[in-house]
Chain A
């Protein structure tokens, strides 16, 4: 792009180049992340390192693959961008005239993105695993290596994964990696060992030599002097006088002249300026910069940091979908796979043609799913889903079916019912679920929204369902 063309950029920073739509994201940009998904490539104006760092992590941490897989570059980066940020971006240019050089890699990424099979999952973990695998795959990386990063709560970041977590919950990265490894999607090998705060699991620790009695690091050190002649032992201040530097023994009043001949210094003595404790061995403590807890070294949490390789099964999951996700859905009693739900909807429409009754498909979407998962934790997630299904099941007829579209969205059929009654059922159900979750999950305000489809016999069943779910993908 020539400098003349640069002048054609509009105020919003969007432009077309070689058939691709670009958007330059400035610090003062007013666009939301959702709005950014419409551009093929994002250029982050990176002359402010804090802005660049915050923005790239936010974009890569976004739940929508249309954003996290998008080619994103730094424009005019400062010299202090770090290795991790460079890894999760797709490269840097210093002015728009260098755009040509980016085109091959942009096309490579966009092509790779089309190969990735993204299906919705009911599992938050599955979504994150797929995100990590697909991001690295589309960047041509089979290795997922931890990268030391100063702003990380666990000292290391994994491309495609760590950006999905806030600072306080970053250690959950290890759970996701372990789960992916247990599913056989990645294999691990040793990379390093590190230590975390025993109270908050944070890796930002600073080590201090402290008084073993009061943990103060404010102390003075003196050599212990042993006078050979009389066996007197004491700190060097015992031997000093106020007039000159000559050393005199306080016991025998002899002059100490020659180290090794008259005296030696067998050890040192530390005096704490805080509690006056005299001691020889400092205690080393590790203070957490996050919660300020003063950890004893032996109680720090030791963690092995691993590097990972995407396995063949992992690649297959990227290209054809995460098999375990389907299995998880099937395991939830009372639900059917979405493909089966489609077929059943088709049969219902066929049945409507003969019996002239009305049937409906309802959709319930929990807007703040991620917040819920964070609050309840992985171990309670499945129980919660079962409770939700049970509640829905109790509100509909036994021959109506339920299916998960994604972790936050599920659909269910309401067959052979009056429209008014069906609508009322869905409305009441969404209120009931809001109440159920808000009441049972402390600090959580559930935000269920619902949608409703009146099935008709003249339109293709798939079109009708797509119309229902398109706003919740």
Chain B
């Protein structure tokens, strides 16, 4: 052990700048520049512009209150009965109350119909609509849309709960700019203490998801409005005739709204808490589904964004390009990095591995602590997560990368997303045949 440490110190001492760049090019050029420097710079700009835009924001709030828009909150889902009371209670506490709640039961086989009908009876929800035959999340959301009367439609997952001003905060951005067609809410992990898996996801939601969305939103390339909490202009959804078949329909609808010429905004202060998968098996299943959507939707269904035709839009191009570049190309490039090191520096591989871990851990600590200055809302103390930061190297750097690689491979060559039981076969069959 001591011998290894001595050899490792000697390895570090022997590193020249040129040698360091050669061995850790992946970290320096792709990870550090994109996820630390660029994000930090954009966050700084965001912070400054937010201060500068204060008047503009106040005016948007005033317009929102003056307009007092009627909202339709839609909650599609299957077997979500037990979550409904908690969700409704959370919505009852909202500072903004001019909304209707529409719950669509997509062929539940539990007590959901009884609970839903009771909630209508006691006046807590406007509509409870039941499809006896399961049609998938898109069809359930589209049915809810058919009933929606609001100027804006808010799509929620039933297992979520919300800050009492979340509804207000997610709608105000629409009054900042008339061209905004959809706004994504900020999602954090409620059950972060449950298992190590949920704790690591909570850190991921803080950094990679929440912070990344602030950054991408400010760069005008924000591309996935989470199905857990997203608001849409009703007219935009109507002109699209609702959601297309999933899985991955959240990202799909965001791209489609972009294509209509609308802007997409992230509302970091519109806070939603959700329960993250608590086992590695469940998490893997979820992430395989999420990651396949990059290939299915960005690279296959919406590839026309890259075509230089009349409807070409630069920010849409950058949005998808960045997504494919960092989500797909660099993920494969990372494999090349491993092969490069394996073949060219096999004798030092264990020292390179440890150095990478140290670099990533330092970067993760830096990001987590410094970026916390930019987080507008925290649902857990930062100190709680500090001891788990080293594990993020393995979680994010190895586990999630591997899952992503498998997902991309499966989708690219076998189109396995169309076999995902998350969506009924009867609809997936059509989606596959028509490359939807």
Option from A224, A233, A250, A281 in Cβ contact (under 8 Å) with B117: A281
Q: Looking at the complex, which of B127-135, B155-163, B189-197 is the stretch in contact with chain A? A: B127-135
User: Which residue on chain A has the smallest CB distance to residue B428?
Assistant: A228
User: Which residue on chain B has the smallest CB distance to residue A231?
Assistant: B138
| A226: chain B residues within 8 A (beta carbon) | 131, 133, 135, 139, 143
Q: How far is the CA of A154 from the CA of B245 in the complex (A)?
A: 56
Are A224 and B143 interface neighbours, CB within 8 A? yes
| B117: chain A residues within 8 A (beta carbon) | 281
Are B143 and A279 interface neighbours, CB within 8 A? no
Are A233 and B147 interface neighbours, CB within 8 A? no
| B134: chain A residues within 8 A (beta carbon) | 266
Which 4 pairs show the lowest CB-CB distances between chains A and B?
Answer: A266-B131, A251-B241, A231-B138, A229-B430
Are B139 and A212 interface neighbours, CB within 8 A? no
User: Which residue on chain A has the smallest CB distance to residue B431?
Assistant: A229
Q: Is A278 an interface residue (CB 8 A)?
A: yes
Contact mask for chain B residues 145-179; partner A; CB cutoff 8 A; 1 contact, 0 none: 01100000000000000000000000000000000
Q: Is A230 an interface residue (CB 8 A)?
A: yes
Q: Is A221 an interface residue (CB 8 A)?
A: no
| A229: chain B residues within 8 A (beta carbon) | 427, 430-431, 434, 436
* Closest-CB distance, B186 to chain A (whole angstroms): 27
| B430: chain A residues within 8 A (beta carbon) | 228-230
Are B241 and A267 interface neighbours, CB within 8 A? no
Q: How far is the CA of A235 from the CA of B147 in the complex (A)?
A: 11
Q: How far is the CA of A234 from the CA of B144 in the complex (A)?
A: 10
Q: Can you spell out 20 A-B residue pairs with CB atoms less than 8 angstroms apart?
A: A226-B143, A228-B135, A229-B427, A229-B431, A230-B436, A231-B142, A232-B142, A233-B135, A233-B140, A233-B142, A234-B143, A261-B426, A264-B426, A266-B139, A267-B130, A279-B127, A280-B127, A280-B129, A281-B117, A281-B130
| B133: chain A residues within 8 A (beta carbon) | 226, 264-266
* Closest-CB distance, B153 to chain A (whole angstroms): 14
* Closest-CB distance, B104 to chain A (whole angstroms): 9
Given contacts A233-B143, A280-B128, 15 further A-B contacts (CB under 8 A): A212-B120, A228-B426, A228-B429, A228-B430, A229-B427, A229-B436, A231-B136, A231-B242, A231-B245, A232-B139, A234-B146, A261-B426, A267-B131, A280-B129, A281-B120
Q: Is B107 an interface residue (CB 8 A)?
A: yes
Option from A264, A279, A280, A281 in Cβ contact (under 8 Å) with B135: A264
| B127: chain A residues within 8 A (beta carbon) | 279-280
A212, A229, A279: residue with the most chain B Cβ atoms closer than 10 Å: A229
Are A230 and B135 interface neighbours, CB within 8 A? no
Are B146 and A233 interface neighbours, CB within 8 A? yes
| A230: chain B residues within 8 A (beta carbon) | 241, 244-245, 430, 436
Q: Is B243 an interface residue (CB 8 A)?
A: yes
Option from B128, B427, B434 in Cβ contact (under 8 Å) with A231: B427
Please list the residues of chain B having a beta carbon within 8 angstroms of any beta carbon in chain A.
107, 117, 120, 127-136, 138-140, 142-143, 146-147, 241-245, 426-427, 429-431, 434, 436
Interface residues of A in 327-354 (CB under 8 A from B): none
Q: How far is the CA of A190 from the CA of B120 in the complex (A)?
A: 36
User: Which residue on chain B has the smallest CB distance to residue A235?
Assistant: B146
* Closest-CB distance, A369 to chain B (whole angstroms): 48
User: Which residue on chain A has the smallest CB distance to residue B241?
Assistant: A251
Are A280 and B146 interface neighbours, CB within 8 A? no
Q: How far is the CA of A334 from the CA of B120 in the complex (A)?
A: 62
Interface residues of A in 212-226 (CB under 8 A from B): 212, 224, 226
Contact mask for chain A residues 238-274; partner B; CB cutoff 8 A; 1 contact, 0 none: 0000000000001100000000110011110000000
| B429: chain A residues within 8 A (beta carbon) | 228
Q: How far is the CA of A255 from the CA of B4 in the complex (A)?
A: 70
* Closest-CB distance, B75 to chain A (whole angstroms): 15
* Closest-CB distance, A16 to chain B (whole angstroms): 69
User: Which residue on chain B has the smallest CB distance to residue A238?
Assistant: B146
Are A267 and B245 interface neighbours, CB within 8 A? no
Q: How far is the CA of A266 from the CA of B427 in the complex (A)?
A: 13
Are B130 and A280 interface neighbours, CB within 8 A? yes
Q: How far is the CA of A188 from the CA of B138 in the complex (A)?
A: 59
Q: How far is the CA of A105 from the CA of B268 in the complex (A)?
A: 93
Q: How far is the CA of A264 from the CA of B243 in the complex (A)?
A: 17
| B241: chain A residues within 8 A (beta carbon) | 230, 232, 250-251
User: Which residue on chain A has the smallest CB distance to residue B107?
Assistant: A266
* Closest-CB distance, A251 to chain B (whole angstroms): 4
Are B135 and A266 interface neighbours, CB within 8 A? yes
B135, B243, B427: residue with the most chain A Cβ atoms closer than 10 Å: B135
| A265: chain B residues within 8 A (beta carbon) | 133
Are B130 and A233 interface neighbours, CB within 8 A? no
| A232: chain B residues within 8 A (beta carbon) | 139, 142, 241-242
| A279: chain B residues within 8 A (beta carbon) | 127
* Closest-CB distance, A286 to chain B (whole angstroms): 16
User: Which residue on chain B has the smallest CB distance to residue A252?
Assistant: B241
User: Which residue on chain A has the smallest CB distance to residue B142?
Assistant: A233
Q: How far is the CA of A279 from the CA of B429 in the complex (A)?
A: 31
* Closest-CB distance, A107 to chain B (whole angstroms): 62
Q: How far is the CA of A281 from the CA of B131 in the complex (A)?
A: 12
Q: How far is the CA of A224 from the CA of B139 in the complex (A)?
A: 11
Q: How far is the CA of A279 from the CA of B147 in the complex (A)?
A: 9
* Closest-CB distance, A363 to chain B (whole angstroms): 62
Option from A260, A266, A278 in Cβ contact (under 8 Å) with B132: A266
Q: How far is the CA of A462 from the CA of B71 in the complex (A)?
A: 90
Q: How far is the CA of A472 from the CA of B320 in the complex (A)?
A: 105
Are A251 and B242 interface neighbours, CB within 8 A? yes
User: Which residue on chain B has the smallest CB distance to residue A281?
Assistant: B117
* Closest-CB distance, A284 to chain B (whole angstroms): 12
Q: How far is the CA of A232 from the CA of B243 in the complex (A)?
A: 8
User: Which residue on chain A has the smallest CB distance to residue B240?
Assistant: A251
* Closest-CB distance, A133 to chain B (whole angstroms): 46
| A212: chain B residues within 8 A (beta carbon) | 120
* Closest-CB distance, A228 to chain B (whole angstroms): 4
Interface residues of A in 18-40 (CB under 8 A from B): none
Are A231 and B243 interface neighbours, CB within 8 A? yes
* Closest-CB distance, B29 to chain A (whole angstroms): 41
Q: How far is the CA of A118 from the CA of B243 in the complex (A)?
A: 83
Q: How far is the CA of A265 from the CA of B128 in the complex (A)?
A: 17
Q: How far is the CA of A250 from the CA of B139 in the complex (A)?
A: 14
User: Which residue on chain B has the smallest CB distance to residue A228?
Assistant: B427
A212, A226, A264: residue with the most chain B Cβ atoms closer than 10 Å: A226
* Closest-CB distance, B267 to chain A (whole angstroms): 26
Are A267 and B132 interface neighbours, CB within 8 A? yes
| B138: chain A residues within 8 A (beta carbon) | 231
* Closest-CB distance, B308 to chain A (whole angstroms): 26
Q: How far is the CA of A234 from the CA of B245 in the complex (A)?
A: 15
User: Which residue on chain B has the smallest CB distance to residue A260?
Assistant: B426
| A235: chain B residues within 8 A (beta carbon) | 146
